[in-house]
Structure 1
Amino acid sequence: MGKVTHDHSKYANIRFDTQDESAIMVDILETIPYEYPGKDTEVVIPTSEFTSVCPWSGLPDFAELTITFIPDRLLVEMKSLKYYLTSYRNVGIYQEHATNRILEDLVNLIQPKYMKVEAVWNPRGGLGTRVVAEYTKEGYVRK
């Protein structure tokens, strides 16, 4: 069997095009009224289809994303959430920043009593990342 050689220098300057955070479609998000504001109902939205790209290389980052919240008066409309999350597809953003950005955008949209966004990122370079960002409305005590 012949010797396998690799010329890693040919990869050194390769970068894929990325979009900046202005490509994130926050305006696509819609709400619907929550008809049980007195009840602390936990809503859990998991997806294994979340993707963004590394801002340095442009290589894809994949995550299992779970959004958990206790609504106050509004819910996020699911189709709009799907389009919003898909808009990250070519955005160059660090994993920790993407997770926090999703939390901030959704909290601003629906003003929940509580919200947690957890992203379990596929390993890159042998290292996996789990990012958890949380929000609790002032004065709210989770039961």
Structure 2
Amino acid sequence: MSQEKEKDVRRWDVDTYEAIDTETLEAIPFEYPGSATEVAYIYPEFTSVCPWTGLPDFGELTITYIPRDMLVELKSLKYYLNSFRNVGILQEHVVNRVKEDLVKLLNPVTLTVKADFRPRGGIGTCVQADFHS
């Protein structure tokens, strides 16, 4: 047997960004526009995968926004976030993609997406993307 270690080429198949199901997102009317109401959703079971290894990334996603005249329907948000499950996407890109999709849907006054990913290789990642109109 050779003393050289063979490069570990094991990996799992990953989905592309096309698997992110933006079509499932639905907006519903907000009856108190101009009230400066802050809405926060906490999703403790967010999962995506590393685009290079296919290994899972687990984290808690927090979405905070001040609606203008629309809210996101919660079941549609859950299905949308679940569609990331097998998508190969960098942790730093997750928050920006979610931010862009929700801003397009809702046209909020402000919106922040924060992700706290569990450590892999000893390093945890916390990423935040903000939108202000």
TM-score normalized by structure 2?
Answer: 0.95
Q: Return the match for 2:58 from 54, 62, 70.
A: 62
Paired position in structure 2 for 1:42:
38
Greater CA drift, 11-20 or 63-72: 11-20
Deviation, 1:11, is 7.0
- Larger-gyration structure (1/2): 1
Paired position in structure 1 for 2:12:
16
**Identity over aligned pairs, percent:** 56
Deviation, 1:113, is 0.1
Paired position in structure 1 for 2:68:
72
Q: Deviations over 1:47-93 (max 9, x none)?
A: 11100000000000011110000000100000000000000000000
Q: Which amino acid aligns with 1:134?
A: D
Partners of 2:7 and 2:84 lie apart in 1 by: 25
Partners of 1:123 and 1:11 lie apart in 2 by: 24
* Unaligned 5+ runs, structure 1: 1-8, 138-143
* Unaligned 5+ runs, structure 2: none
Partners of 1:41 and 1:10 lie apart in 2 by: 57
RMSD, aligned α-carbons: 1.0
Paired position in structure 1 for 2:28:
32
Partners of 2:6 and 2:39 lie apart in 1 by: 48
Deviation, 1:98, is 0.9
Q: How does 1:1-143 map to 2 (within 5 A)?
A: 9=5, 12-137=8-133
Deviation, 1:38, is 1.8
Q: Which amino acid aligns with 1:113?
A: V
